[in-house]
């Protein structure tokens, strides 16, 4: 018969073994974190995207009746320095039967400045109407050439397949001549 010699562990042997297990576990955790960090960091927005999170626009060179386009988060934003007739027309039409009813005063923080995202809410085309010679649709606002949506001088949908008004970006006036979009 064969006998197996048993070993007894003393406290010193257990301490060494525990130290090795803890050290190996810590190194494994650190290695996993170092391996995972590039993947986690790649989910953060890039510097060029973060830089476009907000845009400041100087409004002083924009003449009354002029429309400009600025870029914000990769989208065109239309800024319209409306004339008194456009404001009056938009306010008069507040009570009309609109597909997406919204008062002009709720769409423009200052009546003379309308700021909307220049993307049709139907399928994402860019509406025409920014240039003085481009078609502005039946209500004098914007016209989407892709499927025929017409927007009024407040950016509200009046005719066509678009389900809602032109979107309003978050914006605030820093002073009378500066606006921050985003």
| Positions marked catalytic | 147
Cα 121 to Cα 100, 161, 175: the distances in Å are 11, 9, 30
CA angle (47 as vertex; 43, 50 as ends), nearest 5: 85
b/e burial code for range 144-164 (CB count within 10 A of at least 16 → b): beeeebbbbbbbbbbebebee
Give me 54's structure tokens: 């907000």
Q: What are the percentages of helix, strand and coil residues in the chain, rounded to 5?
A: 30, 25, 50
Residues 116 and 78 sit within 8 Å (Cβ to Cβ): yes
Distance CA 162, CA 123 (A): 8
Q: At which residue do the structure tokens 């009046």 appear?
A: 158
């Amino acid at each position: 018969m064969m006998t197996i010699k048993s070993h007894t562990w003393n406290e010193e042997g257990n301490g060494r073994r525990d130290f090795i297990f803890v050290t190996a576990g810590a190194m494994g955790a650190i290695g996993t974190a170092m391996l995972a960090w590039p993947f986690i960091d790649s989910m953060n927005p890039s510097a060029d995207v973060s830089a476009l999170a907000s845009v400041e626009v100087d409004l002083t060179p924009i003449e009354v009746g002029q429309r400009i386009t600025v870029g914000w988060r990769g989208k065109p934003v239309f800024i319209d320095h409306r004339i008194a007739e456009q404001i009056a027309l938009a306010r008069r039409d507040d009570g009309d039967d609109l597909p997406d009813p919204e008062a002009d005063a709720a769409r423009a923080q200052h009546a003379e400045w309308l700021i909307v995202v220049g993307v049709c809410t139907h399928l994402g085309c860019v509406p025409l109407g920014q240039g003085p010679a481009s078609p502005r649709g039946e209500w004098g606002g914007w016209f989407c050439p892709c499927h025929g949506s017409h927007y009024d001088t407040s950016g509200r949908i009046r005719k066509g397949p678009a389900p809602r008004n032109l979107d309003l970006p978050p914006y605030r006036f820093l002073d009378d001549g500066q606006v921050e979009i985003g």
